[in-house]
Every structure is written in structure tokens, then in C-alpha cells.
Structure 1
Amino acid sequence: MEDKAKAASGNSGSQADQPARSRVDTGTLGKAISVLDIVASAEEPMRFTDILAVSDQPRGTLHRQLSNLVEEGLLSLGRDHAYSVGIRLLKFAAKAWAGNQFRAIAEPHLRALHDLTGETVHLGVLRGNEVIYLDKVESRQAVRMYSQIGNASPVYCTGVGKAAMSALPEAEVQAIIATIKFHRFTDSTLITPKALMNEIETIRESGNAFDREEHEPGIRCVAAPIYSVDRSFVGGVSVTGPAYRIPAATLEGWAGLVRNTAGAVMEDMGARLGPRT
């Protein structure tokens, strides 16, 4: 309220004060985004003390940030006093995905791959040491895998993640690996930098990455990298399904189809998003 009163009066501060207020506003926005990121990245709703434990903000500042975000509809506060993503933020996300050019370019190719395999097809993009799923074509089978557009998964134990990393220069791969906190999700999970690097070298040679029940028990996938010419944009496409329905031989048989799909997406990206002459 005080800031609004000063702005309205027009005489409460000199013009020299303006840059300082801009810097404060920018810092406040950054803090709010940091809080949003913590809550949105959590696997389940978080209480205030949970957020405080992983945030670098003082208790009072964090409480104000959370209250403002709830008031704006970007976060939701449940009856159990736990915070989760708000409806307004979901609307923003849905709008972003709907207007994403990469997603629109890839969609017909994803559907064509789905028609050939009958299993779930994912499109993901690399963000730090995670993969964000941008699109999904659901399996035709009665038993389907659980996944959601917008979800993030670790790069080191997912087909799309490992495929995306294989497209990066060595230095960038090493930089990402240095940020990974390896966790054993299953008996098949790669849990050392050396094992992951060896896997990436194999992927570079074959053009395909495999998730052999490394992230979730009973779930397999085959993936291939998608990237821009300058590697500023890196992602991947995959076919995923339950291990009981997809033997290893079937997954290997789909490897070429997935590579072809990735190649077709990249070709369209170059034609539609590349520099114009």
C-alpha cells in the first residue's frame, strides 16, 4: 500500500529513486518465481515448513510471498495447510503448451509414430538436469502408463533424457552430470557419472536411447534425440509401454521408427523455424 501511495502522489520521491524501486521489484519477482518453482517441482503439496527448509528466504518474506501467490491464484492452500499449484498457473501453462511451435510441428509426427506402434509416444525438452514433457499421444491399449504433460523427470534414467544429453557437446554433458544427485529408482537405474557417460557414448553410436525399467519398474521405452542445428534446443521423442507387453526385441525393432520420427521433426523444425532468407 505504501508503494502505491507514493506512486499516486508523484511528489513523495525524486526521479533518482526510480531505478532503486525497479531493482527491488525485480528482486521481489525473482523471489516469487523461486517459491513457485519449489512448489511446482514437488511431487506432493508442501507445508510452509517444508518450503522454508529448501528456500533461501527469511520466514517473514516467504510467508508474504506465499500469501501473495495464493491471493493471485498461482498457488493453492489446502485444508491441510499444504501449498500446491493454483488453477491460474495451470491456465498459463496450458496456454503456453497450446501455442508452442515446437509442439505443433512435432504433433503429426508423434501421431504417425503412435499409429505404427500403438503405444504411448512422448515429446520432451531438456531443461537443466531434467526433461519436461511437452506432449503425449496415449496408448490404444486398455492398460496404459501414467504420465502427464508438463511433468519433469530426471535425465539420467529416462529414454528422452539420455537421448537429449547425447546430442550435447561433451563439456555440456559433463556440466549437467555435475549437477545430478543420483538416486536408485529401480535395480536397473544408472547411479554413477561413469555409467551414465558410457551409456551416452553408446547412444551416440546407435542413435537411440533405452529406458530398461530404470525410472519405473515395469516400464520400458526407446527414444531418439531432437535438436536444433546449433544445439541451443535439445529434446527427444520416445515410445513407452509396460515391459510385459513390450519385450526387448520389440523395443529394438521400433528403434528405427523412433529415429525416423526424430529426423522428420528436425527437418520440419529447420524448414519452419530456421532463418529466413
Structure 2
Amino acid sequence: MELSRQCFYPVKIAQRKAMRMKQKKEDDMEGDPAGTGTLGKAMAVLEAVAMADRPQRFTDILQTVRQPRGTLHRLLGHLVEEGLLVQRRDLSYEPGLRLLKFAYRSWSGNRFREIAAPYLLHLHQLTGETVHLGLLREAEIIYVDKVESRQTVRMSSQIGKASPAYCTGIGKAALSVLPGGELQRISTGMEFHPFTAQTHRSIESLLAEIEEIRHDGHAFDREEHEAEICCVAAPISVPEHDLVGGISVTGPSYRVSFKQLTAWAQDVRKVAAEIEEEVRIRLGPGRETGAAAPRVLSDAQRSQ
């Protein structure tokens, strides 16, 4: 019995090694444009499915992630087994409950969102339109919270969705508070996609507007990302906590004129400044637990 075991294990190891070498050869033949490790490839697959507007078939994912077919098959199998993805009856894939649980925990436990929430509500009450809160992540803005408009026609934006910084109000506002070297690094790597006729096409035009935003303290989205959607935004910057983002008031251009956006700019700047101060107080040294209640200013205090 002992002899058979000693013979069996080397054979098993050799078989596994041969399988790994075979798969590596297949992957090399098919190519791996991403040039990433297993975790990076799995994350790319998760993102392709999670950020899609509909369930994704194998061919859809393959076209998005550009990974070898064999590699993609294995990754999808592992992700389904772990509950991060679900395979439907029609063989398409959608986010699994475990992934949704992670997303909810991340959202509900976000201290920035928690601190800013009452201020978003106040700005919404002032304007009646949709209010967004976003964080800058390299060249994108990630929306971490929103308060919907009271109007019948509302925005199609989603919490957790990423949008290019160069064509969104919050994105440009956030870029305006970056140090020069950081702004140059991020903007140099941008690919300017013309979403509308108003979208920036070059670094030069973007940086020129960034200078205006720095002077004014607020930014506008003049139908640059979506046609007939405009906004006014102000930056939120707390460097000691590596936090750069912004807040905006957004509405359809037929209902919200540029004159109206300009009139709201002062309120947006004021609320952004109040959020900055609250973040510094709540997340300051020795205050990581955030025991203090949000300090929302009264109308009388705001007018002072």
C-alpha cells in the first residue's frame, strides 16, 4: 500500500504540471492582451458583467475582456461557484447575490457618503432637482450617493456607476483642486470620447476650462456627457484623507436653464464647503469612530 502511494503522488503532480503547461501554451497561442494575473482577469470579468445594462452572454464578455476562451470559461465557472456571478437558464451571466452583498456593505459603510447624506438632502430641498455625490478615481468619477428629483422626469444615473471626469460637472470640479502635476498625469492619459457635440476633444480645451473652474469655485456640465442633461457642481477636497470629489445639482436642460444653474452655484459651493468641514471634524485624529452627529447648519446660520 505504501509503495503504491509513493508511485501515485509523483504521477499526480506530473499530470497537474502537464495540464498547467498545456493551458499556458493555449493561452499564449490565443494571446493575452491584458497581460494581467489571474486576479486581475477575474476582476475584469466581474466588471464586464456587473457594469453591463443587461445579462451578458459568453461572447459578450469575451468581446469586452479579450481573454483566451479557455481562461474565460474557467474564470466564469469559479465566479459562479463562489456566488459572485449567476448563470441564467439562457446561459447568460448576471451579478450574484454575494457580489450584491459586497456592494451593499461597501456603500452602507462608506463614511464619506454617511457624513454627506444630510447635506445632499438639504441641497435637494433647496433646488428640487437631483443631487449627486461623487469621488474621483483617476480619470473617472464614481457616484456614491444621490437624492432624486421631485419632478416626474428624473436622471438615469446610478450609484456605483463611473463616468469620465472630463465631461461631467463633478469630474471637472474635482480635477480643478488637484495639484498641477497630478492633474497633468491624469489628463495626459485621458481618451476624449465625443459623447455629444459639447464634449471636450483635447487636453488643451479641458485644462483651459479647469483654470476657469479654479477661479470660479464651481463647474458646469453643459450637455457634455448626455444630451439635454446639465448640472452645476462644486469640488470637495480633504487631502489629509486622500479624498477628492464633489457634489452637483443636475436636471434636464428644458427644465433647468443655465441662468438657474448659475443662481444655484453659490448654494452648491456652500454645501460642498460644509461637507469638507464635517469630514475633517468627523474623520479627524481620534475620531475614526465618527461618534458625533452630523452638524447641519440652520438657514439662519447659513445666511451669516
Map of 1:267 onto structure 2: 277
* Number of the residue aligned with 1:48: 58
Which whole-Å CA distance do the structure 1 matches of 2:183 and 2:54 have between them?
29
| Cα distance change, pair 84–249 in 1 and its aligned pair in 2 (3 A) | same
State yes or no: 1:156 paired with 2:166. yes
- The reply to whether residue 227 of structure 1 matches residue 227 of structure 2 is no
Aligned partners of 1:167 and 1:231 also within 8 Å: no
TM-score by length of 2: 0.77
In 1: Cα distance, 2:94 partner to 2:170 partner: 27
Matching of residue 118 in structure 1 with residue 134 in structure 2: no
Please say if 1:108 is aligned against 2:118: yes
Report SS of the residue matched to 1:156. helix
Quick check: 1:249 aligned with 2:255? Answer: no
Larger radius of gyration: 2
Name which of 65, 83, 91 aligns with 2:93. 83
Structure 2 Cα separation of the partners of residues 178 and 90 of structure 1: 34
Paired residue for 2:44? Answer: 34
Say which SS state the counterpart of residue 105 (structure 2) adopts.
helix
Displacement of 1:115 in angstroms is: 0.8
Q: For the Cα contact (< 8 Å) 1:121–1:240, is it kept in 2?
A: yes
AA aligned opposite 2:165: V
Letter in 2 for 1:149: I
Counterpart of 2:209? 199
Task: Confirm or deny: 8 A CA contact 1:124 1:236 kept in the other structure.
Answer: yes
Task: Give, in whole Å, the separation in 1 of the partners of 2:141 and 2:216.
Answer: 21
CA distance in 2, matches of 1:87, 1:133: 21
Cα gap change, 1:111 to 1:130, in 2 (>3 Å):
same
State which of 70, 84, 108 in structure 2 corresponds to 1:60. 70
Relative distance call for 1:204 and 1:44 in structure 2 (3 A) is farther
1:77 and 1:198 map into 2 onto residues whose CA distance is 48
Q: TM-score, normalised by structure 1?
A: 0.84
Q: Secondary structure at the match of 2:59?
A: helix
- Counterpart of 2:190? 180
Match of 2:248 among 214, 222, 238: 238
Instruction: Select the residue among 42, 66, 69 that pairs with 2:79.
Output: 69
Q: Are 1:93 and 2:103 counterparts?
A: yes
Q: 1:274–1:135: structure 2 CA closer, same or farther, 3 Å change rule?
A: same
Q: Contact (CA 8 Å) 1:155, 1:161: kept in 2 or not?
A: yes
AA partner of residue 234 (structure 2): A
Counterpart contact for 1:166–1:201, Cα < 8 Å: yes
| Unmatched segments (≥5 aa) in structure 1 | 1-8, 14-26
Over the matched positions of the two proteins, sequence identity in percent amounts to 58
Does the CA-based 8 Å contact 1:219-1:242 persist in structure 2? yes
1:4 is matched with none
From the superposition, tell whether residues 79 and 157 of structure 1 become closer, same or farther in structure 2 (CA, over 3 Å). farther
Name the aligned partner's letter for residue 140 of structure 1: R
Query: For the residues of structure 2 that align with 1:195 and 1:84, how far apart are their CA atoms?
Result: 39
Asked whether the 8 Å contact 1:168–1:231 carries over to 2, the reply is: no
Count of aligned positions: 254
Partner SS, residue 143 of structure 2: strand
Q: What is the RMSD of the two structures over their aligned residues, measured on CA atoms?
A: 2.2
Q: Which residue of 1 aligns with 2:223?
A: 213
Structure 2 counterpart of 1:22: none
Distance 1:47 1:79 in 2: 11
* Partners of 2:66 and 2:243 in 1: CA distance: 30
Q: What is the distance in 2 between the residues matched to 1:210 and 1:43?
A: 27
Offset of 1:47 from its aligned partner? 3.2
Deviation at 1:57, TM superposition (A): 4.0
d(CA) in 1 for partners of 2:139, 2:109: 24
**1:260 CA displacement:** 0.5
How far the C-alpha of 1:210 sits from its partner, in A, is 0.4
How far does the alpha carbon of each residue in 1:111-150 deviate from its partner, in whole angstroms, 9 at most, with x for none? 1111111100000001121111100011111221211111
Where 1:183 maps in the other structure, the secondary structure is: coil
